[in-house]
Each structure stands twice: as C-alpha cells, then as structure tokens.
C-alpha cells in the first residue's frame, strides 16, 4: 500500500515540477474557449446555448495534451522497466498513475470549467451541472486515454497517433456528459438518467483501462 | 483436415491456393446474379423510388464493415491467447479491406441520403456509428504502420482491436440515444418482417456475394502478408550472413 | 438504361460507380501486391538464398 502512495506522490511531484503540469492544460483549455467566440461571433445567446459543448470538447482536448508523456517519460529514464518488474501488479501501478494524472489535469479542468462557463454567459445551474458532469466524466476520459498512452509508448512520435486512437472511444463519455449538462438548462430532459450512465462509463473505463494499458505496456517492452 | 492443420503457414498457403479460385468464381457468380436481381427483378419502393437500389450495395457494405471488425477482434484473441502468427496476419489483412467497405457504406449512405433528406450528410444514428467505426479502422491501420517490426506491433494492435470491440456496442448505444433526442426520423428503416420478399431476396444474394468477395480478398491479402514476412525474414537472414561472413549465402542457418 | 432509373439516376449510378472503383481497386491492389511478393521471393531464390523451412524439406 505504501508503495502505491509513494508512486502517487512521485507522480504529483513530477507533474507539478515539470512545466507546471496542471496549469498548462488549463491554459490550453482557456485558449480553446477564447477561440470559440472568434469563430462563431460574440452573440451571448448563441454562446450560452453551445456553452456546454464548448466546455466539454475543450476539456476533452486539453485532457489529451500531456497524455503521451505519461509512460514515455518513464520509459526514457528506465523507471517503466522497474514498474513492470516490480512485485506490485502492473494494473495497480497504471491505476495509480492514471489517478495522479486525473488529480493534476482532469480535476483542475473540471474546476476551471464553471469559471470559463461564466465567460460564455451560461446560467448558474448550468455552471454547476457542467462542473458536476466533468467531475464524473474526466476520470472516464483519463482512463480511456491511458490505453492510448500505453499503446504508443514504444513509438517515437506517438502524440498525434494517440489522439486518433482514443478520441473515437471517448464518444460515449462526451455524449452522456453533454446530455446530463444540457438537462440542467432545458428543463424537459431528465438529468439523473444520463448522469448515471456517465458514471457507469467512467467506472467501466476504470476497469478496462488499466487492464488494457498494462497488457499493452508488457507487450511493448518485450 | 482440422482447423489446427490450417494454422501451419505452409499448409495454409497450399490450401488457400486451391480454395482461392473457387472463392473468386463463386463471389463473381453471386454478385452478378445479385446485381441482375436488384436492377431487373426488384421493384421500385413506393416511397423512395429507384433510390432504393442503392440499398443493395449500402446494406451489404455496412454488414461487411461490421464483419471485418469482428474478424479483426477474433483474430486479435488468437494473437493474444495463442500468439499465433497467422492470427496476426489475418487481422492485418482484414483491416484495409474492412476500411474500404466501411468507406463504401459511408459514401453510398451519403448518396442515398441526398435525394431522401436533401443533404449530403445527415447525422443519422446509423451513418454516425459507421463513421466512428471508420475512424477506428483508420486508427488500427495507423498503429500497425507505426511499428516497423510486424511481430512486435502484433500484440499491441491486438489490445487496441479488443478495446475497440468492447467499445463498439457502447458507442452504438450512445449514438442511438443521442440521436433519438435530437432528430428521430430516419430513412434507413430496415425492420425485418416488414421488408418485402422482392426486395429481400436480391439483398440477401448481394450480401452473400459481397461476403464471398470479402473472404476472397481477405484470403489473397493473407497470402500476400505471409509472403511478405518470408521475404523479410530472408532479407534479415541475408543481411546477418553478410555481416558475419561477408558473403550473402554464407551461413543462413545463423539466424 | 440510365433514364429508366428515374430522376435520381445520377445518385444511383454514382453509388454503383464508386463502389465498383473501390472494389476494383482492392482487387487490383491485392493481385499486384501478390505478384510483387512472388517476384521478390523468386529474385532471392535466384540469388541462392533459401528459407530455413525449405532447407528442412
């Protein structure tokens, strides 16, 4: 257990020390949100209507940014070999790394989202909903993303490939994240049903992701 | 002869060489019969007129898109569980063919949609799911191409193929849910019993012929892949021989 | 024959034409690729290289 905590602490330290980790993703998110009014015009009615979509797509993309370094950095300095050979199951190690990634990337993005939502003139209840759905959905995005990170670990230019591989798999999370969010704005559609499915998707990804990622890492290092 | 005998690459090459001409011939016969039936025997649809004839290629292509991915997923299980090189050869050969048929399903769907909906592309649940499937095919092919050693990439791509196979039903379910909320009407109503036999029979013959065609191309592509790996193995052997003895045919047994 | 397909003949013809081109492309690719691999193997055999599997036969 203490090995897992040590690893978790190491991941957090690395993420904070190298290039301000968490902050970079949030800044990228802010840039995506800033681009949108330039693209569709400063019409506040329109922006508040498509606000949840902008925030969710922005988070989805920002969450991918640092993913390709998740295992690659460990591979370059040799610590990945140690993790694979350690008595700890690789699936658990991968889970801890993914959780640390979520704490330093997904969590700040979900917290920043309501702030940026205010810039898009979204109503207060929608801001709460977008924060809540992102908190529920970003673990799903991260745990799907680590599969791609593990698949491309042996490749020199894996960044773009990683995005191509995992984004199609993130479609369900995006769909139900948006559905639950817009339920807070449009009173007619139910909130709980899509939200529970979103949670189920995240939980499913937390099971499937580490198993697939650990398998890919083992095969990649042989 | 059991399936296990076929798993030997040399045996596979011998058997596939004998089967392949028959497969090509059967596929051609069924497709010609299917085309004749769909153009001259099938009536016009009372709503869609002659555009219903696009269905005779669209539906088989969509079916093959799914079958191709299932083939890759099954082969990937073979790669991961038995580590059999032929399983990887099968998955690798199926990917571009499946992607091509997925492309056909998308293009014919678009050409069918234009007269029906008045737009080249409508975010209909079926078309959108097929589009995501197409993206997943492209991802698989891209990942395969990223590894220069086919043996090394085999099991990694197999992991991706299986993750995709687990996700496909979820994606299909979410896209359908998303679609019913946004726009209900769809032209692609293919409710089993309501379809008329004069439409159903040409469709079945076309689908069967297209499946045979898929299998024939797949088998031929598998043979090519086996040959490609032989060439590669011989090149590596020769290169190593040059490195150790200085002559090409020096000690090929070394490798 | 095109006229008999009615007002949407162009769409139907285009769908069949594109399908034909893609399928023909697949078949031509698979045949050409096979021929190329065979040529490569023959060239290596002429140079006196043999597969280990062949040597055992």
Domain boundaries, chain C: 3-47
**In the predicted structure, residue B129 carries a pLDDT above the cut 70:** yes
Phi–psi pair at B104, nearest 5 degrees: -60, -45
**In the predicted structure, residue B255 carries a pLDDT above the cut 50:** no
Res. C56 pLDDT band, cuts 50 70 90: very low
Query: Are the beta carbons of C44 and B235 separated by less than 8 Å?
Result: yes
Query: Are the beta carbons of B230 and C50 separated by less than 8 Å?
Result: no
CA-based nearest distance B171→chain A, Å:
6
Q: What span, in angstroms and rounded, lies between the C-alpha atoms of B68 and B158?
A: 14
Q: Mean of the pLDDT values across residues B30-49? A: 79
pLDDT for A2 equals 82
Contacts of A216 in chain B (CB under 8 A): 156, 159-160
Res. B3 pLDDT band, cuts 50 70 90: low
Per-residue pLDDT tens over the stretch A72-123: 888 888 888 888 888 888 999 999 999 999 998 999 999 999 999 999 988 8
Q: What span, in angstroms and rounded, lies between the C-alpha atoms of A33 and A39?
A: 10
Contacts of B213 in chain C (CB under 8 A): 23
pLDDT for C2 equals 53
B147 touches chain A (CB under 8 A): yes
Q: Mean of the pLDDT values across residues C32-38? A: 92
Interface partners of chain A (CB pairs < 8 Å, 3 or more) are: B
**Residue B88: how many other CB atoms lie within 10 Å:** 25
pLDDT for B92 equals 92
Instruction: Give this prediction's pTM.
Output: 0.87
Q: Are A152 and A78 in contact (CB under 8 A)?
A: no
Give me the residue from C19, C37, C50 closest to B104, CB to CB: C19
Question: In chain C, whose CA is at the least distance from the CA of B97?
Answer: C26
Q: Mean of the pLDDT values across residues B105-124? A: 84
With a CB-CB cutoff of 8 Å, which residues 30-49 of chain C face chain B?
Answer: 30-31, 33-34, 37-38, 40-41, 44, 47-49
Q: Which CATH number fits domain B53-181: 1.10.10, 3.30.450, 1.20.120, 1.10.150?
A: 1.20.120
Complex confidence, ipTM: 0.87
Per-residue pLDDT tens over the stretch B188-206: 555 444 567 777 888 889 9
Burial class of B152 by CB neighbour count within 10 A (0 to 12, 13 to 18, 19+): middle
Nearest one of B234, B71, B29, B60 to B158, comparing CA atoms: B71
pLDDT for B191 equals 47
pLDDT for B237 equals 82
Query: Does C have 3 or more CB contacts under 8 Å with A?
Result: no
**In the predicted structure, residue B93 carries a pLDDT above the cut 60:** yes
Q: How many residues does chain C have?
A: 57
Q: What span, in angstroms and rounded, lies between the C-alpha atoms of B217 and B240?
A: 34
Res. B186 pLDDT band, cuts 50 70 90: very low
Contacts of B217 in chain C (CB under 8 A): 26-27, 30
Question: In chain B, whose CA is at the least distance from the CA of A209?
Answer: B163
Classify B186 as helix, strand or coil: coil
Query: Are the beta carbons of B170 and A151 separated by less than 8 Å?
Result: no
Res. B240 pLDDT band, cuts 50 70 90: confident
pLDDT for B76 equals 93
The token pair at A128 is: 């709460």
pLDDT for A208 equals 94
With a CB-CB cutoff of 8 Å, which residues 26-55 of chain B face chain A?
Answer: none
With a CB-CB cutoff of 8 Å, which residues 214-243 of chain B face chain C?
Answer: 217, 220-221, 223-224, 227-228, 230-231, 233-235, 237-238
Question: In chain A, whose CA is at the least distance from the CA of B137?
Answer: A165
Contacts of B139 in chain A (CB under 8 A): 161, 164-165, 168
The token pair at A18 is: 């190298």
Q: Are A142 and A100 in contact (CB under 8 A)?
A: no
B182 touches chain A (CB under 8 A): no
Q: Mean of the pLDDT values across residues B180-184? A: 59
Beta carbon pairs, A and B, within 8 Å: 76
The residue that leads in pLDDT, B26 or A49, is B26
CA-based nearest distance C39→chain B, Å:
10
Residue to substitute from B39, B42, B50, interface C, most C β-carbons within 10 A: B50
Q: Of A153-157, B231-235, C22-26, C28-32, which gets the smallest average pLDDT?
A: A153-157
Which residues 6+ apart lie within 8 Å of C36 measured at CB?
none
The chain-wide mean pLDDT, for chain B, equals: 83
Q: Are B98 and B69 in contact (CB under 8 A)?
A: yes
Q: What span, in angstroms and rounded, lies between the C-alpha atoms of A43 and B198?
A: 54
- Which segments of chain A have a pLDDT < 50? none
Bridge partners (DSSP) of residue C19 are: none
């Amino acid at each position: 257990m203490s090995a897992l905590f040590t690893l978790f602490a190491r991941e957090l330290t690395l993420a904070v020390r190298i290039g301000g980790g968490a902050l970079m993703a949030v800044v990228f998110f802010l840039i995506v949100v800033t681009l949108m009014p330039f693209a569709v015009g400063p019409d506040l009615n329109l922006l508040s209507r498509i606000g949840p979509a902008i925030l969710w797509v922005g988070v989805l993309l920002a969450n991918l940014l640092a993913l390709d370094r998740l295992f690659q950095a460990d591979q370059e300095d040799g610590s990945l070999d140690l993790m694979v050979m350690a008595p700890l199951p690789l699936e658990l190690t991968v889970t801890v790394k993914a959780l640390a990634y979520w704490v330093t990337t997904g969590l700040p993005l979900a917290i920043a989202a309501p702030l940026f939502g205010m810039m898009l003139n979204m109503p207060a209840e929608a801001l709460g909903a977008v924060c809540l759905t992102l908190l529920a959905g970003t673990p799903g995005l991260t745990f799907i993303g680590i599969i791609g990170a593990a698949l491309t670990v042996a490749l020199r230019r894996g960044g773009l490939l990683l995005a191509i591989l995992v984004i199609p798999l993130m479609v369900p999370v995006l769909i139900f994240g948006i559905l639950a969010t817009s339920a807070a704005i449009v009173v007619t559609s139910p909130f709980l049903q899509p939200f529970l499915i979103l949670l189920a998707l995240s939980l499913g990804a937390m099971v499937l992701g580490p198993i697939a990622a650990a398998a890919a890492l083992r095969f990649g290092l042989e | 002869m059991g399936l296990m005998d076929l798993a030997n690459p040399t045996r596979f090459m011998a058997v596939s060489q004998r089967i392949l001409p028959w497969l090509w011939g059967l596929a051609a016969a069924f497709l010609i019969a299917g085309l004749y039936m769909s153009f001259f025997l099938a009536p016009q649809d009372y709503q869609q007129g002659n555009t219903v004839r696009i269905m005779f290629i669209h539906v088989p292509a969509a079916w093959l898109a799914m079958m191709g991915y299932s083939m890759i997923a099954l082969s990937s299980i073979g790669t991961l569980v038995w580590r059999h090189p032929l399983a990887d050869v099968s998955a690798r050969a199926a990917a571009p063919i499946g992607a091509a048929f997925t492309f056909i399903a998308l293009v014919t769907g678009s050409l069918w949609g234009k007269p029906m909906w008045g737009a080249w592309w409508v975010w209909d649940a079926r078309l959108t799911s097929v589009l995501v499937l197409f993206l997943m095919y492209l991802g698989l092919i891209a990942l395969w191409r990223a590894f220069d050693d086919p043996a090394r990439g085999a099991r990694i791509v197999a992991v991706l193929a299986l993750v995709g196979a687990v996700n496909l039903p979820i994606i299909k379910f979410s896209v359908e849910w998303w679609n019913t909320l946004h726009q209900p009407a769809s032209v692609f109503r293919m409710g089993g019993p309501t379809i008329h036999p004069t439409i159903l029979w040409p469709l079945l013959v076309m689908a069967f012929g297209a499946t045979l065609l898929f299998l024939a191309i797949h088998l031929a592509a598998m043979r090519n892949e086996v040959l490609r790996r032989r060439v590669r193995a011989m090149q590596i052997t020769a290169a190593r021989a040059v490195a150790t003895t200085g002559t090409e045919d020096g000690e090929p047994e070394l490798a | 024959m095109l006229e008999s397909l009615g007002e949407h003949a162009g769409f139907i013809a285009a769908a069949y034409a594109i399908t034909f081109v893609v399928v023909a492309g697949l078949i031509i690719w698979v045949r050409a690729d096979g021929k190329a691999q065979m040529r490569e193997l023959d060239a290596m055999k002429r140079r006196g290289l043999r597969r280990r599997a062949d040597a055992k036969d």
